[in-house]
């Protein structure tokens, strides 16, 4: 069998299938299909499919919806990452600051798996305030749990780097906060897993600061940046302010002085246009 006969056989089979499909379509619809697909038969019995106006409208709707969803996700994700987002506080580790209603009232009976629970407090988590890592004692921060990277934890900063803090377990253990770390605790000592369990946490784990209470309505307020009296702030001996920018003795920590904007600009220009003195000189042999 040569190629021409094979080609003619395939064309005949294709035309037969086209006629069969066209006949069944007429029987089912009692008229030539003109809704989703329109079958056109030319002189050489070749078919072509063209979408109708309804199909075009459907494709256009799917396209526009997909683009809107992608744009919305990108905008919202960027806004939540750089600016902030609202979040509910689960658990009782921050009582009495948060979730007092969960204990004092049983009006709302929701399961723990509910996405929205009216008996829980909601706060505004500001990621913008946490971008420079300039925290104060008393700040309520949101960070990645050092025990589970998929869990977010909200606690209060009790001590910063360079401070000496006594644990709240009554064993009079004093801990010096290393550089780049802080000491966090829950307000409810009897029901909190915090730095008393896993020690100081790195500042790099913190990605947000709780600045306002937005739910319930009667508790809406701006959160104070201070350690409450019931957390015994006298347990902390502040050493960071006294040693800031001072070169200590050998073997002791040195707290670097933050660079000014002009210094950062000079560093940037240095890397963009390095000086000739620091360039590697290749000796020339004559």
Residue 92: beta bridge partners? none
List % helix, strand, coil for the chain (3-state, nearest 5).
35, 20, 45
Catalytic option among 93, 179, 197, 284: 93
**Residues 233, 221 contacting (CB under 8 angstroms):** no
Tell me the pairing of strands 37-41 and 140-144. Answer: unpaired
At residue 225's C-alpha, the angle toward residues 115 and 191, to 5°, is 50
Cα–Cα distance, 224 to 213 (Å, whole number)? 11
93 is known as an active-site residue: yes
Catalytic option among 42, 155, 219, 266: 155
Residue 153: beta bridge partners? 143
Cα–Cα distance, 142 to 207 (Å, whole number)? 6
- What count of Cα atoms within 13 Å lies in the side-chain half-sphere of residue 109? 2
155 is known as an active-site residue: yes
Instruction: Give catalytic residues, as residue numbers.
Output: 93, 155
């Amino acid at each position: 069998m040569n190629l021409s006969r094979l080609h003619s056989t395939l064309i005949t089979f294709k035309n037969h299938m086209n006629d069969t499909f066209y006949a069944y379509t007429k029987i089912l619809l009692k008229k030539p299909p003109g809704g989703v697909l329109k079958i056109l038969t030319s002189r050489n019995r070749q078919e072509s499919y063209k979408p109708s106006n309804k199909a075009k409208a459907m494709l256009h709707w799917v396209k526009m919806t997909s683009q809107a969803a992608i744009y919305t996700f990108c905008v919202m994700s960027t806004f939540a990452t750089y600016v902030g987002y609202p979040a509910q506080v689960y658990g009782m580790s921050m009582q009495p600051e948060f979730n007092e209603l969960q204990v004092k009232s049983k009006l709302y009976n929701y399961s723990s798996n509910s996405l929205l629970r009216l008996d829980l407090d909601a706060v505004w988590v500001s990621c913008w305030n946490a971008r420079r890592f300039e925290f104060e004692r008393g700040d309520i921060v949101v960070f990645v749990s050092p025990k589970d990277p998929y869990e977010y934890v909200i606690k209060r900063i009790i001590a910063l780097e360079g401070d000496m803090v006594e644990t709240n377990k009554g064993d009079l253990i004093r801990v010096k906060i290393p550089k780049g770390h802080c000491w966090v605790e829950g307000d409810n000592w009897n029901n909190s897993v915090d730095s008393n369990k896993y020690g100081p946490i790195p500042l790099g784990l913190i990605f947000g600061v709780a600045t306002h209470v937005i739910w319930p309505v009667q508790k809406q307020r701006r959160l104070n940046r201070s350690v409450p009296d019931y957390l015994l702030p006298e347990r902390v001996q502040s050493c960071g302010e006294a040693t800031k920018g001072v070169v200590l003795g050998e073997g002791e920590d040195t707290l670097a002085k933050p660079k000014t904007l002009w210094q950062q600009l000079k560093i940037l220009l240095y890397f963009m246009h390095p000086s000739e003195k620091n360039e590697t000189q290749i000796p020339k042999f004559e």
